[in-house]
Amino acid sequence: MTTLVQRDLEFADGAPWIFDFDGLVHATPAEVWAAFVDNESWTIWFERCRSCKATSAVFDGVGSTRSIAVNGLRVDERFIAWEPERLWAFTATAMRMSMFTSLVERATFDEPEPGRIRIAYRMAAQPKWWAKPLRGVIAGQATKSFAKSFAALDVHLADRRKA
């Protein structure tokens, strides 16, 4: 694992690389929030997520930590923003096979109309020098992955309501 430089929330607006992904799901703010903070559910709806688990004794706010494995990458995360049903963000603390020196991911949730939640997801990164030519490939793969993940989240939330 490579240790990354931890960043605060402001890094999400000033990082050298910023990738934005939007999704619309049929749900309430509480349902979307519940899925985001239910680490185990990520393996159901987040594309290529192999595992996701809390690593802190308590997982309920800023300072909480978790580890996630997605598409061959393993990332250790520390949460830097946690406003239920509104804002969720972490800074990566370590990453296996890292192409970044810093990484912050932030999701905001708003309800443009009742029963529909817009997820605005941002990845903000400082790439390692050798990764810079890969920006387009990374953006393309991530765009497809997040589109599939948001669609799967919509299905997952509908299934939870039926259960």
pLDDT band with cut points at 50, 70 and 90 for residue 72: confident
Which residue range is the domain that position 38 belongs to?
2-162
Q: Give the 3-state secondary structure percentages of the chain, helix then strand then coil, rounded to 5.
A: 35, 45, 25
Give the pLDDT of residue 97: 87
Tell me the pLDDT tens digit for each residue of 140-150: 999 999 999 99
* pLDDT averaged over every residue in the chain: 97
Backbone φ, ψ for residue 114 (5° rounding)? -55, 130
Q: At what angle do helices 29-37 and 135-162 cross, to 10 degrees?
A: 110
* CB proximity list for 13: less than 8 A, separation 6 or greater: 124
Structure letter (DSSP) for residue 129: G
- How far apart, in whole angstroms, are the C-alpha atoms of residue 36 and residue 108? 11
Give the pLDDT of residue 163: 80
> What is the number of domains present in the chain?
1
Q: Would the pLDDT of 20 be above 90?
A: yes
Q: Write down the pTM of the prediction.
A: 0.96
Backbone φ, ψ for residue 10 (5° rounding)? -60, -25
Give the pLDDT of residue 66: 98
Strand 116-127 and strand 65-70: the pairing is unpaired
